[in-house]
């Protein structure tokens, strides 16, 4: 076989491109513009075994929801603190803020806040019971029966037919 003739054109040689520097790692919370740690929330979701599989955006969404709720609570608690002329939030301000907001109160209905005291005004059921007890006549049958059951010595009892020796 005769050798092939080379044509007048040279083959273009490929030049090696310079490798692009690796992009710096950007955290998921930075990409989502969140303050809450998306990676940590994802780890807790995996560790907690809430589901067999997790979507890759589920931790981002949960972090966004948590951040929104916390921002709402802190804003309302800050309003409570400024209305009481305080510059520092304490558990009482947080509790008053949550209990005064209808939606947050429903969300945190089963939560007990430590070191926060009680709501001002008392519970309506207790207030109604106290009002009905105060409105009764002292000589009414209900109040005398109650005092007899409690064994109060200052109440007079009427003598019935059994006490006089008479049979009914």
Taking 60 as the threshold, does the pLDDT of residue 168 lie above it?
no
How is residue 12 annotated by DSSP?
Answer: P
pLDDT of residue 133: 75
Q: Which pair of structure tokens corresponds to residue 19?
A: 């490798």
Helices (H), 25-119: 28-31, 38-48, 58-83, 91-100, 102-107
φ, ψ for residue 57 (rounded to 5)? -100, 0
**Close Cβ partners of 27 (under 8 Å, ≥ 6 residues apart):** 38, 39
Q: Which pair of structure tokens corresponds to residue 17?
A: 């491109």
Cα–Cα distance measured from residue 100 to residue 119, given in angstroms and rounded to the nearest whole number: 9
Domains of the chain with CATH codes: 28-108 (1.10.20.10)
Taking 60 as the threshold, does the pLDDT of residue 39 lie above it?
yes
Over residues 37-46, mean pLDDT: 96
This prediction's pTM: 0.60
pLDDT of residue 167: 58
Taking 60 as the threshold, does the pLDDT of residue 23 lie above it?
yes
Dump pLDDT digits (tens) for 44-100: 999 999 999 999 999 999 999 999 999 999 999 999 999 999 999 999 999 999 999
**Close Cβ partners of 107 (under 8 Å, ≥ 6 residues apart):** 69
* Higher-pLDDT residue of 113, 3: 113
Contact in structure between 38 and 32 (CB atoms under 8 Å): yes
Percent of residues, the chain, with pLDDT higher than 70: 67
In angstroms, how far is the first alpha carbon of the chain from the final one?
144
Cα–Cα distance measured from residue 84 to residue 78, given in angstroms and rounded to the nearest whole number: 10
Contact in structure between 100 and 116 (CB atoms under 8 Å): no
What is the number of residues in the chain?
168
Over residues 129-157, mean pLDDT: 57
Cα–Cα distance measured from residue 114 to residue 94, given in angstroms and rounded to the nearest whole number: 11
Q: Which pLDDT band, with edges at 50, 70 and 90, does 17 fall under?
A: confident
* Higher-pLDDT residue of 115, 9: 115
Taking 90 as the threshold, does the pLDDT of residue 140 lie above it?
no
Dump pLDDT digits (tens) for 109-124: 999 999 999 988 866 6
């Amino acid at each position: 076989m005769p050798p092939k003739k080379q044509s007048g054109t040279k083959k273009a040689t490929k030049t090696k491109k310079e490798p692009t520097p690796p992009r710096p790692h950007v955290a998921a919370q930075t990409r989502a513009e969140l303050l809450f740690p998306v990676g940590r929330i994802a780890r807790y979701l995996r560790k907690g075994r809430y589901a067999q599989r997790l979507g890759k955006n589920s931790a981002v969404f949960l972090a966004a929801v948590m951040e929104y709720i916390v921002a709402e609570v802190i804003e309302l608690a800050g309003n409570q603190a400024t209305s009481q002329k305080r510059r520092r939030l304490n558990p009482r301000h947080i509790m008053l803020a949550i209990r005064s907001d209808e939606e947050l109160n429903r969300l945190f209905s089963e939560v007990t806040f430590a070191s926060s005291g009680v709501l001002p005004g008392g519970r309506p059921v207790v207030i109604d019971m106290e009002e009905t007890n105060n409105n009764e006549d002292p000589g009414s049958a209900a109040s005398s029966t109650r005092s007899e059951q409690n064994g109060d010595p200052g109440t007079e009892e009427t003598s019935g037919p059994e006490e006089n020796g008479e049979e009914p």
